[in-house]
Amino acid sequence: MTSGDPAQPPRRVDRAGVVIAALLAGLAAVLVWDARGLQSTTMYGMGPEAMPVVIATGLALLAIGNLIDALRGNLPARESADPVPVVLILAGLALLIAIIGFGGGFILATSALFVTTSAAFGRRAVLVDSVIALVMSTLIYLAFDRLLTLSLPAGPLERLL
28-58 pLDDT tens trace:
999 998 888 776 665 666 666 778 888 999 9
| 126, amino acid identity | V
**pLDDT tens-digit readout, 95-144:** 999 999 999 999 999 999 999 999 999 889 999 999 999 999 999 999 98
Angle between helices 106-120 and 83-101 (to 10 degrees): 180
Q: Do 109 and 99 contact (CB within 8 A), yes or no?
A: yes
Q: Give the number of C-alpha atoms closer than 13 A to the C-alpha of residue 107, restricted to the C-beta side.
A: 19
For 53-120, the three-class secondary structure string (H helix, E strand, C coil) is: HHHHHHHHHHHHHHHHHHHHCCCCCCCCCCHHHHHHHHHHHHHHHHHHHCCCCHHHHHHHHHHHHHHH
Q: What are the angstrom distances between the C-alpha of 104 and each of 15, 30, 43, 87?
A: 43, 30, 37, 22
| 40, amino acid identity | S
Tell me the pTM. Answer: 0.60
Q: Do 73 and 96 contact (CB within 8 A), yes or no?
A: no
